[in-house]
Chains A and B, each alone.
Chain A
Amino acid sequence: MKQVVRVAAGQGFWGDWLEAPRRQVEGGPVDYLMLDYLAEVTMSILQKQKERDPRMGYARDFVGAIDSVLPAITERGVRVIANAGGVNPVACAEAIRDLAASRGAGGRVRIGVVTGDDLLPRLDDLIARGHTLANMDTGEPLSRVRDRVLSANAYIGSTPIVEALRRDAQVVVTGRSTDTALTMAPLRYEFGWAADDWNCLAAGIVAGHIIECGAQCSGGNCLVDWRGIPDLANVGYPIVNAHADGTFEISKHPGTGGRISVPTITEQLVYEMGDPHSYITPDVVADFTTIQLEDAGPNRVRVFGIGGRPPTDKLKVSIAYRAGFKAVGTLVYAWPDAVEKAQLADRVLRERLDRLGLRFDKVLTEFVGASATHGPLAQTSADLPEVQLRFGVRGEDRAAVERFTREIAPLVLNGPPSVTGFAGGRPKVEEIVAYWPALIDKTEVQTAVEVIA
């Protein structure tokens, strides 16, 4: 058994720094590269792509990421775990296989594919058998929006990833695995943690939570002493250095920028936190009130003391559905009295929309530069140099939203003065794909693992 297993984070979301995976593999010794691509609504975007082309539906950035690390991972035996498969993990794995072949590594890269999270084809059957898939926030049954559902995927845990590693996969591709399972699975595999070793499994989950947002734990988006964080241009992404007893240190490669300290790790620990006593995953419930942190040298933090307990008998399901249309238009008003001018433009615009008889579910005005982010908490009496009027509408009627987009530009000539910043043209109408969180009995979800080369 290895004394230390090193898991390096290379992507915190789909759209993260393209340089990071290669820097993590080439910057120093690591055992695993963990890439997290899936946010709550990513699955629905991928589902739309798959509808247009059945070979699509996965995070295509992942192919580029593998291309950027391919020689290094094959030379050094680094294994890659990613939830890049989206709604089409098989096609994703095949794309990686084809890439390896085209780079002269055909047949030498074993790719594990985890499937079974996709519930879309079974949705009507599940509902017919009494699964309401009620919205966890509102309690409404899924039947209310069934005809508008685009994707439905269960969040799955570490077990199938461990299975793929056991079968010697060098690259493991999953669909809607939990972000944290991508980090916990290789630790469970390497250290042989039992499926009921709650404290160790919880430690793996906490390790995953710390690194799943990439550099957000190593100096990125860090408020404490933000001016003093060195060399963000060269920021180092985090690495978990884990031990068999469930303790671990977070570090980054030497010579990189950013910072790893107790405050930077703490900021990431509280990110998107709910009830800290119960961080629920398919494998274990982790208790964040047990986590202990201590400095363990420059850019190194030791994490220990983590407690866990058995999971629930449910899996969370991520469902995406079509929920109408929205558009946001902006104009910029200049000194003097920039806020007052923008406020008048807002009143004029609302009156015009009313007179047109346009009805929306929601109309929202913000004054960027004055109050958009902190609202009335950000009161200022200063005569600001400029303010951006940001006006959004949302509704079921696409035609009404389209009509709204024609009402912004005219304000430049027929509204309040000192206005600019309209060069972007008419606002774009966007179809809203909304998120519907639900629960399903674990017994309804069977995962499968296939290894291709």
Chain B
Amino acid sequence: MKVRLVDIAHARSGDKGDTANVGIIALKREWYRLLARELTERRVSAHFRDVITGPVQRYELPNLSALNFLLHGALDGGGTLSLKTDAQGKVFSTALLRMTLDVPDDEARTLGLPAAP
């Protein structure tokens, strides 16, 4: 089953220099393990391949049902150097939420995941 990330998680992003961080949070605690399994560094790196120039690092916060991603080389130099509208990486959060996951039907039913429209 196709599941849109925007239907099962929320997120906030910010900056440190030329790095954007995206904290992504499962909307229900029981959905965190799915996020942790699916949102690998490789997967997120592929998602942003045409948007950032550096690597992606991931940290796990099971206590908050959250993952934190650092997207390096995301902000055209960052801070005041950047010419970007989103020089401070404020909306990388929803850019990540554009992702769609493929979840086995059984698991999607068990977890009560909303199907992508």
Which chain A residues have a beta carbon within 8 Å of chain B's beta carbons? 40-41, 137, 221, 223-224, 263, 266-277, 288-293, 305, 323, 326, 328, 362, 364, 366, 368, 372-378, 390, 392-394, 432-435, 437
Contacts and interface: CB of A to CB of B under 8 A. Distances in A.
14 contacts: A137-B18, A221-B12, A223-B12, A263-B27, A267-B11, A270-B24, A273-B23, A273-B59, A275-B59, A290-B63, A373-B86, A374-B95, A377-B51, A432-B81
B83 A375 contact: no
A272 B16 contact: yes
A274 B12 contact: no
A247 B5 CA distance: 33
Given A288-B61, A293-B64, A368-B85, A271 B14 contact: yes
Interface string B74-117: 00111111011110000101110010000000000000000000
B64 A373 contact: no
B98 A374 contact: yes
Contact of A375 (B11, B51, B77, B80): B51
A390 B91 CA distance: 18
B21 A274 contact: yes
Nearest to A365: B83
Contact of B94 (A269, A272, A293, A374): A374
Nearest to A225: B10
A403 B11 CA distance: 41
Given A377-B47, A433-B80, A272 B14 contact: yes
Contacts of B77: 362
B interface secondary structure, majority = mixed
A362 B63 CA distance: 42
Given A374-B95, A375-B50, A376-B50, A270 B66 contact: yes
A270 B91 contact: no
Contact of A223 (B11, B62, B80): B11
Contacts of A326: 81, 83
Given A266-B65, A326-B83, A364-B83, 12 more contacts: A270-B61, A270-B66, A271-B12, A271-B13, A273-B21, A289-B62, A291-B64, A362-B83, A372-B85, A375-B51, A377-B95, A432-B80
Nearest to B59: A276
Nearest to B23: A270
Contacts of B12: 221, 223, 267-268, 270-271
B70 interface: yes
B40 interface: no
Contact of B23 (A40, A269, A323, A437): A269
Contacts of A288: 61, 64
A221 B15 CA distance: 15
